[in-house]
Structure 1
Amino acid sequence: DNGLENGLKSILTEIKRVKDFGFTQTELDRTKTSSLRGYETMFNEKDKTDSKSLVREYVSNFLEGECIPGIQWEYDAAKNLMPSITLEEVNKMINSWITDGKNCVIVITAPEKSGVKIPNEETVKSIFKSVNATTVTAYSDKVSDKKITDAVPVPGKISKEEMLNADFDIHQWTLSNGAKVIYKQTDFKNDEILFNAYSWGGTSLYSDKDFIAADNATDVISASGLGNYDPVELNKYESNMVMRLSPSVSELSEGFDGSCSVKDLENLLQFVNLYFTQPRKDSTAYNSLLTQISTSLQNRNNNPQAVFSDTLTKAMYSNNIRYQPFTEKDLTQIKLTPSYNIFRERFSDPADFTFCFVGSIAPDEFKDLIEKYIASIPSKGKKETYKDLGIKWQMGNYSKKVYKGTEPKSTVAMIYTGTFDYNRHNRNEMNALTKLLNIKLRETLREDMSGVYGVSCSPQMVHYPKGQYRLIISFSCAPENVDTLMGAALKVIQKVKDGGCDDKDLLKVKELLLKEREANLKENRFWLSVITQGTKDNESISELKDFTAQVNSLKSDDFKKLASLYFNNSNYGTVILYPEK
């Protein structure tokens, strides 16, 4: 296996191409435009910058002497200086930065695996010499002059406007094609719009035989470009945008997740439209995707954490066929045409989609864009829902041990599972319980016993197809300390079951919950989640107003009751990673 040598040759060949011919004007132009957009985004948020970003600048100033002129100065300087940077100036710098290897340090990491050929120092030097003696041709930066689409959307209409929630100023539009749009205008950020969309169905509507093709459909389509653009053309087209958009197909639903600047809202909506109307099927991109996945799989079974994670997933989902580790054999089931067809099916009709937006939205302009790009998507009024496949979360008691790797380190997962009455009140209680457990586990396992660097108790709660929960306590430690630390964790749980919590810890939990909520109420991401999950779960968003009262009403006995309910020893399992014997 000469993959390392071939990879090094490929990289050095491209470096030589740059050294011999330099960059092109179009490459420089895209880089300058993209860089200026980055400065513009930071400038637009100058009065909404997170404290941690400012702290990083202070640290750089203290440690490295980096000046702090402020984003106003930096943006003005970028606007003044960037246009004057010429291709000749950039290419002149290449020879002083890139040599024939004399100022180059190469670090090679590789798996301990038979058949992997690791080049030694002499081999690396010979590769440098060989590449430097090779004749290369100049790179041609082909920039398409065609449009991303030739189609001109015929705008639809907003057939109904209503206030979805007056308490929090959340609006809902029903479009002429049946789609729903929900939006909340905020001023938390000056130049940020977050986006999410969903429709019920997902991979649950496909047989086990077609599951892998369905599960990987969005990867295949996302790699293929969009509209008239192949992947390379699309990447160049997007380079000057502050935008992110990802389609997805999960077990129960399909949809999108994305974000953009105010300036790029139209681009975002146009891309959404094209995923419905003009997704691409590109065989070259498909083959490249399969190669990337295959490469990532080659050493996965040699990675202890990957094997542990796969074992944990299998255990939690009762060894269900849809939650098995992905293998080379599975790769053969990702077919271009079937995956493309499944994507077209999942995104064939917007009538049962809900599109959610939060951020610096200008309603009048937003309305025009929605009618142009979302209401214009053809619809047959088709409505679907997911199918309950009976995939069971593992109940009862179980124990799995994984022996992999040589590092003297173990990873532990302690899993409690059960049915869950899914509503906002119960989710708030669950979060309060895990806050208390995290405090007590950290005090005991890290501070008192010095047995772990970190420990966490994390909840997972789902509504559909049936209400279920998991509580997962996880930590890493020395292998010889596994049993002692697990015993200590169980004692922490039992202590809460028996006595709840003292006044000091009760106050800590309340402060953490209230402070976290106070911060979340000023975050677009929080509100997007609230709107999306609220509509999915048919919950009133006004229930958010009850949060503070519920937190303040918590008592020690509540935690006794909650711990006894959710840390049920009858539905308790463990998965533990040990080094190989």
Structure 2
Amino acid sequence: MKKFVLSMLAFLVIAPFFVSAQDMLKQAVPVDPAIRTGKLDNGMTYFIRHNEEPKERVSFYMIQNVGALLENDNQNGLAHFLEHMAFNGTEHYPGKGFLDYLEKNGVAFGRNINAYTAFNETVYNLSDVPATREGLIDSCLLVLNDWSNYLLLTEEEIDLERGVISEEWRTRRNASFRMRSQWFPVVFEGSKWAERDIIGDLDIIKNFEPETLRSFYHDWYRTDLQAIAIVGDIDVDQVEAKVKELFSKIPAVENPQPRPQFEIPEHDETKFVLATDEEATNSSISIYIKHKATPREDKNIGYLREDYIVTLLNQMSGERISELLQKGNPPFISGGVQVGGFVRGYDAAFISATANPNKEDEGLKAIYTEAQRIVRHGFTEGELNRAKVNLLTSMESAYKQRDKISNDQYVSGIQNYFLEGEPLTDAEFDWQFGQAILETITLADVNKMATDMFVDKNRVIVITGPNSDVKHLTQDEAFAILAEVENSTIDPYEDTAEAASLVEGELRGAEVVSTKKLEDLDAVEWKLSNNATVVFKHADYEKDEVSLRAYSPGGNSLLGTDDLQAATMLPQFIGSFGVGDFDAIALRKVLTGKTASVATSLGDVTEGFNGGSTPKDFETMMQLLYLQFNNPRFDEEAYEALKSRYVAYLQNMANNPQKIMSDSMSLIATGYNERTKLMSATMFDEITFAQMEELYQDRFKDVGDFTFFIVGNIDEEVAKEMAVKYIGSLKDLPGEEKWVDHKVRMPDGITEKKIEVPLQTEKGTVYILIRKELGYSPVSNVELNVLKAILQLRYTEEVREKEGGTYGVGVGSSSNQYPYERKTLQINFDTDPEKADHLKSIIFREIEKIVADGPTQEDLDKVILNLKKERAQAKEHNNYWMNALYNKYYHGFNPDAEENFDEILDGLTTEQIQKFTKEFYTDADVVDVVFLPKKAE
């Protein structure tokens, strides 16, 4: 492979002197040499690769070249139904046999065991399986084997699953889904895509004969359409031998039906469709221009080169749209002019904008003008050079962190290779080839790509939005706007170059007045003479990454009620202002080729910063931190531009049932406290630009109150030098701040409500909050996490599987120390409104059973094993150590210490969880809300 790369590099240099480069571009792309691949006699393909991210883990995938487009009309929805059935009984694992077995080995359903169905494929996965457990690899191979050809598909399990999928159908019926069902038939007119939506027809789901499902399974789940992919910390030779032995026994289907390729009819005329819905929140304009994709057999070196051209085009167009949105009164809320994949066999050029309310005409005219500006005048050399530098920077970072490519990422590439013939390269090739090929890409190449893709053939205009109190474009109006733009004079884009340093002049810096080793976390603390605290840990799990985090006590709690709306929006706005002497547009140009960012955060009890960079751009990140603290920029034009976009975005959010529910829960859960602020279009009536600047200056002024954490792959001396120079040059003010407890609490006792919400789909949504004032400690925090995970198991079994009452119950938990110590469980699910009360009773029943009898030992063992597995994987990443340092300072204990996690888990008993649950649940405050469809008047 390396010889190929070298020859490629040499060829690209000397080709102009000898032959056309076309010969080289027609060469096949080399496959990652570390991937062992083959095809069995029965037609099944296999891919096996050794990888150690994460260590001692392995992922197993079954990739089926089978999806919803292969269904007959009486099977509409059964490709997806069949996916569900793969978890409900196989020859070697009847019922939920393999789920139970794998969960006992630390492989969790949903998180590690899952699948999805699409139009053209169905993919199953068993991810992050412990590779060292005796017999577990063999068992996972047997599961894949059964998925291929040995599903039981019993009538009993089919009937049980009808309810689950009916509830999934209900959950997915939102405004976007309903509008898609209106515009799909136009965009895909004359093709199978216009007839299928994957989830299927509810009447068929509820009533199909089991033999109809079995027929689909027999016809399409077959070895010539299947591939297995196994990637992880394994012996490739041993696994390949097991694969050949086991999977070769699966018989090939005799006289198989040809697997069709689905075409979309071409059309010269531009089509138009308006799709509306009561619950839609914004008007969107999209222009889809469909193109036949490169055939599988032509996905060669030339195809890879075109992919780089597309990437550059999209980067440059994205920068132009970003600039447009920073200035004056933006003509739309968001927009894009892009090229990319569409559906299998097709690419597309996309022109899209989210319009300001009742201004779809302005939005369409503005975004189409930008597309035409690109088509007529192309890009500039300056734009291309910046895009190339930025792309090289991201490629270099990916190469440096090639040892952090996860098992599932590798399988994603394998999947695209098997299903669509996408190149399956390795990191070495990508880096070497990318550098070489970018040198060959000219401005003419990118501009030609734009003119080839943004044409008027196979074009469809799609308008989506609310169906009341909104003026939508008609077909005639939309066509007239396109014609007006096409016949107008459009000036070329004017590029302005920026070449300046972020920080000019010498900084005074500070002295390190004390140094303390943190032996338990292999880190060091420096106290600076300006009273700032800096904590550093060298970590190279991610080779090309340095992270920054900082906090100071206070946050919104030190602000009056009248300032809370502005404080809520401040972090979003400050990022759009730029920094120092550079507005946001100039700053992006100054940072060309650099990977460095710093963002502001402002929470209830703290304010702070979060940043990231590569090791080589660490000083740039520290300069951004210095400027964000010492010389923040406040740009009123940028403020007004972003404000107008927010107001437009929020104007129709009152139609969104999810926002209605979320806002209702926020108000109820805080007892309608005056400090509970909701996002709305009118919120900006309470905010001014001057107020936002004043709040920032108040919250981010005293470095002596801040603790800074730096974690990443840089030397300690470099970190110290940069901290002294940049953090040390920030100002310290007298006094210390502390957060204030405003006594915002959940209502005492049980608060039970039923609230009617305008809904287009008959759906009940249950939200339950359970909160208790309990101490914040390592033991109680672990106990709450274990309880949450046990309840997730119980609800999956009782509410989803036995009752068929919901697609899934969401269970979350939180342990908080400030401003008062408390623990919270959050539980929510969608269901048939008629079943809401019954299913809600099961939610409480399962908690009460643990209070009365404790959890089962089996459930406890499953949860403990999975928590340990996740912890071991997390330790192999820099972010784990950043969180450990942060928690040590913020919460007062080291969460990485054995006694604060592993020893607690090892000592847990069912009696201990029972005791904790009783303490937590008894006399807890409960908010119990059911949202129901509003009855017709």
Give the TM-score of the pair, scaled to structure 1: 0.96
- The residue that corresponds to 2:377 in the other structure is 21
* Residue matched to 2:368: 12
Say which structure, 1 or 2, has more relative contact order (CA 8 Å, 6+ apart): 1
Corresponding residue SS for 1:332: helix
Matched, 1:502 2:856: yes
Does the 8 Å contact 1:173/1:180 carry over to 2? yes
Could you tell me which of 706, 724, 735 is aligned with 1:353?
Answer: 706
Structure 2 Cα separation of the partners of residues 203 and 510 of structure 1: 37
Which of 866, 869, 875 is 1:512 aligned to? 866
Which of 387, 404, 428 lines up with 1:72 in the alignment?
Answer: 428
Corresponding residue for residue 271 of structure 1 = 624
Q: Which residue is equivalent to 1:111?
A: 466
* Match of residue 770 from structure 2: 416
From 84, 92, 95, give the equivalent of 2:451: 95
CA distance in 2, matches of 1:479, 1:30: 55
Partner of 2:824: 470
- Output one character per residue of 1:526-572: Cα deviation in whole Å (capped at 9) or x when no partner: 22122112211222456444422211211111222122222236522
In 1, Cα distance between equivalents of 2:358 and 2:896 = 61
Kindly indicate whether residue 401 of structure 2 is the aligned counterpart of residue 48 of structure 1. Answer: no
1:487 and 2:841 equivalent?
Answer: yes
CA 1:152–1:299 in 2, change beyond 3 Å: closer, same or farther? farther
Q: What amino acid maps onto 1:463 in structure 2?
A: Q
2:927 — aligned with what? 573
**Partner amino acid for 1:109?**
T
Q: Structure 2: which amino acid aligns with 1:104?
A: R
Q: How does 1:149-298 map to 2 (within 5 A)?
A: 149-164=503-518, 166-298=519-651
Amino acid at match of 1:139: Y
The 8 Å contact of residues 405 and 580 in structure 1, kept in 2 or not, is answered as: yes
SS of the residue corresponding to residue 464 of structure 2 reads: coil
Q: Secondary structure at the match of 2:520?
A: coil
Does residue 142 of the first structure (1) align with residue 496 of the second (2)?
yes
Query: Corresponding residue for 2:748?
Result: 395
Retained in 2: the 8 A contact 1:193–1:261?
yes
In the TM superposition, residue 170 of structure 1 has moved relative to its aligned partner by 1.9
Out of 729, 750, 756, the residue aligned to residue 376 of structure 1 is: 729
SS in 1 for 2:404: coil
Shift of 1:467: 0.5
TM-score by length of 2: 0.60
SS class of match (1:322): coil
Distance 2:442 2:365 in 1: 30
Partner of 1:31: 387
Contact 2:767 2:826 in 1 (8 A): yes
Distance 1:2 1:345 in 2: 39
Residue of structure 2 in register with 1:336 after alignment: 689
Counterpart contact for 2:536–2:719, Cα < 8 Å: no
Partner-residue secondary structure (3-state), 2:517: strand
Letter in 1 for 2:608: G
| Equivalent pair of 1:402/1:575 in contact (CA under 8 Å) | no
Q: Does 1:3 align with 2:356?
A: no
- Partner secondary structure for residue 321 of structure 1: coil
Is contact 1:202-1:252 (8 Å) kept? yes
Query: Which one is further off, 397-406 or 55-64?
Result: 397-406
Shift of 1:215: 2.9
- Distance in structure 2 (CA, Å) of the matches to 1:213 and 1:502: 49
Q: Distance in 2 between matches of 1:569 and 1:119?
A: 56
| Paired residue total | 578
Counterpart Cα distance in 2 of 1:540 and 1:64: 48
Letter in 2 for 1:523: H
Q: Residues 72-93 of structure 1, C-alpha deviation per residue, up to 9 Å, x if partnerless?
A: 1011011111122111222122
Question: CA deviation digits over 1:436-465, x for unaligned, max 9?
Answer: 111111111112112111212211221112
Indicate the SS of the match to 1:464. Answer: coil
Q: Tell me if structure 1 keeps the 8 A contact 2:577–2:583.
A: yes
Contact 1:177–1:378 (Cα < 8 Å) also in 2: yes
> How far is 1:307 from its partner?
0.7
1:386 has 2:742 as partner: no
Give the AA of the match of 1:301: A
Query: Which stretch of the first structure deviates more once superposed, 330-339 or 71-80?
Result: 330-339
SS in 2 for 1:9: helix
What is the alpha-carbon distance in structure 1 between the residues aligned to residue 542 and residue 364 of structure 2?
A: 43
Query: Aligned match of 2:486 in 126, 132, 150?
Result: 132
**SS of residue matched to 1:109:** strand
Q: How far apart are the structure 1 equivalents of 2:670 and 2:879?
A: 29
SS in 2 for 1:107: strand
* Native 8 Å contact 1:458 1:471 kept in 2: yes
Given that 1:197 and 1:355 are in contact with CA atoms closer than 8 Å, whether structure 2 keeps it comes out as yes
Q: Deviations over 1:118-159 (max 9, x none)?
A: 223332222211111111111101123343343432222222
- Are positions 1:323 and 2:676 aligned together? yes
* Cα displacement (A) at 1:168: 2.3
From 758, 774, 778, give the equivalent of 1:404: 758
Q: Contact 1:178 / 1:381 at 8 angstroms: preserved in 2?
A: no
Q: Which moved more, 1:393-402 or 1:427-436?
A: 393-402
Unaligned segments of structure 1, at least 5 residues: none
Q: Is the 8 A contact 1:273 1:373 kept in 2?
A: yes
Q: 1:217 to 1:95 in 2, by over 3 A?
A: closer
- Match for residue 553 of structure 1? 907
CA drift at 1:7? 0.7
Counterpart-to-counterpart distance in 2, 1:372 and 1:148: 14
CA RMSD of aligned residues (A): 1.7
Q: In the aligned structure 1, how far is the partner of 2:522 from the partner of 2:538?
A: 8
**Contact 1:249–1:255 (CA under 8 A) maintained in structure 2:** yes
Q: Which residue of 1 aligns with 2:878?
A: 524
Report SS of the residue matched to 2:752.
strand
The one-letter code sitting in structure 2 at the alignment partner of 1:444 is: E
1:299-355 deviations in Å (ceiling 9; x for gaps): 111000011011111111111122232233321222112211221121112111000
SS state at 1:167 partner: helix
Does 1:302 find its partner at 2:655?
A: yes
Alpha carbons 2:670, 2:744 under 8 Å: kept: yes
Fraction of identical pairs, as percent = 29
Q: Any conservation in 2 of the 1:177–1:381 contact (CA below 8 Å)?
A: no
- The 1:421/1:569 distance shift into structure 2, 3 A limit, reads closer
1:490 is paired with a residue whose SS is helix
Q: CA deviation at 1:251?
A: 1.4
Amino acid at match of 1:9: K
SS in 2 for 1:122: helix
